Amino acid sequence: MNENNVALITGGTRGIGKAIAQRFAREGYNLVINYVSDKTDLKKVEEEIKQGKDIKITFIKTDVTNMQDCESMVKKAIEVNGKIDVLVNNAGITKDNLLMRMSEEDFDRVIEVNLKGTFNVTKNVIPYMMKQRKGRIVNISSVVGVSGNAGQCNYSASKAGIIGFTKSIAKELASRNILSNAIAPGFIETDMTSVLTDAVKENINIQIPLKKMGTAEEVANAVYFLGGEENTYITGQVLNVDGGMLM
Q: Which residues are catalytic?
A: 155
Spell out a b/e string for 179-202, using b for 16 or more CB atoms within 10 Å of the CB, else e: bbbbbbbbbbbbeeeeeeeeeebe
Instruction: Please say whether the beta carbons of 80 and 32 come within 8 A.
Output: yes
SS3 call for 29 = coil
In what helix (H) or strand (E) does residue 238 lie, and over which residues does it extend? strand 238-241
CA distances to 34, 39, 53, 58, 60 from 42, rounded to whole Å, are 11, 9, 17, 10, 10
Sign of CA dihedral 101, 157, 144, 26: negative
Distance CA 216, CA 18 (A): 9
